[in-house]
Amino acid sequence: MKIVWKSIPTVLFHDELLDKAYSRATKAADRVDDPHRVFRVRKQMNRMLQTASDVIAETLLEWVSDWPSLDKLPVFDEAMVEAAVGCDDYRHHLSMLQWGAKQVRNIAGQNQKKITRTANVEFMHESRREAYGRISSIVRQVGPSLAWLNEARETLRKLPSIDPMEPCIVVAGAPNVGKSALINSLSSGKPEVASYPFTTKQLHVGHFELRRLKYQLVDTPGLLDRPMQERNLIEMQAIAALRHIGSVVIFLYEPSQADGVSDEQQLHLLEEVRELMPQREFVVIRSKGDMSGQRAEEWDEIAAAEATWVEDGRPVDAEIDLLTDPESGYVTASATENVGLEALRLHIAKLANAQRQDDPMELPEGWHRR
């Protein structure tokens, strides 16, 4: 099940919810028509209580229903909620809405009985006012939860939507090694890319299609080589992505960064990522290959082969050799000069397909599916 976080509905503040309920209650009472004063007032007061309680309770329960249930979320999405806003707080504040809806209905029911059992018009009005006061008190108690959900919604809307049925490739590495530029070139995703040192503030998801199959690329925030307990919220989102999704990991490594993370720290980070994802295929890439002091000997040859492959319509039976860095021996590519990317795309797609668990109800590989 793919969760579309951007579709989470807006939550009203407590005063807005009360205004909405009481204004509808007043309109409902105005539609009551009975020539007998006692019967008319009784109907009006009951109608007002019924309408106000229905509006508040149904609105609260609708929000609970429309917000994703943590018990039904994939492990990755649950980990993202934990990293972004906290699962315990998420459950608590939604449960407060359920509690509030139940209390409002109980209060309305109790006071409707009082109104129905009396013929005293003033007592009917007094019972309605008493119910309004108690209902308002309950909604004010729920107010902090409504405010929290409003704030959480703005955070959750920025979370990526990952389709668990499609192959997923995670791009990881230290800050400022070129992850966003690489994913920008490989896929339809458009992470924020800058010419100065800059680290991604959240997860981005891009897609590319190859041989009629769709692949997801997740651009993670830059990880720093430090203990887990010292990592911030952005880094914890990256950890959630690494730990719970992806059949292939692309780790970008840039040796001798002038103002970034040292070689030793990056290699230590690589080993830590391997421990987090022991069952995944790894592709270590020497980033920014065009900036290397010595380009690979096959640079021009592979650039020409890729151009020909694209011009021929990306034939299924054609393969392109990976571009390798002569110094480190790692795979390399250039997002700025568009060299090595087609070979890399072919390679990671092959690795992802090899780890894919076929569903007997799915169409055969290569069939176009929307």
Q: What is the pLDDT along the chain (370 residues), one digit of tens a residue?
A: 677 788 889 999 999 999 999 999 999 998 888 888 899 999 999 999 999 999 999 999 999 999 999 888 888 888 888 888 889 999 999 999 999 999 999 999 999 999 999 999 999 999 999 999 999 999 999 999 999 999 999 988 888 788 877 888 888 888 888 888 888 888 765 555 444 454 556 677 888 888 778 888 888 777 766 666 777 777 777 777 777 788 888 898 887 664 567 888 888 888 888 887 888 888 888 876 666 556 667 778 888 888 887 777 777 777 788 878 777 778 888 777 778 888 888 888 888 888 765 555 555 454 444 4
Q: How far apart are CA 160 and CA 202, in angstroms?
A: 9
Could you confirm whether domain 5-156 is CATH 3.30.1330.100? no
3.30.70.100, 3.40.50.720, 3.40.50.300, 1.10.1040.10: CATH of 168-355: 3.40.50.300
Q: Rounded to an integer, what distance in angstroms lies between the CA atom of residue 225 and that of residue 263? A: 11
44 backbone dihedrals φ, ψ, rounded to 5°: -65, -45
Cα–Cα nearest to 97, from 48, 137, 138: 138
Do 111 and 49 form a contact (C-beta atoms < 8 A)? yes
- Burial class (CB within 10 angstroms; exposed 0-12, middle 13-18, buried 19+) of 289: buried
Q: How many residues does the chain have?
A: 370
**Residue-range domain boundaries for the chain:** 5-156, 168-355
Cα–chain center distance at 167: 17
Q: Which two tokens stand for residue 138?
A: 């309950």
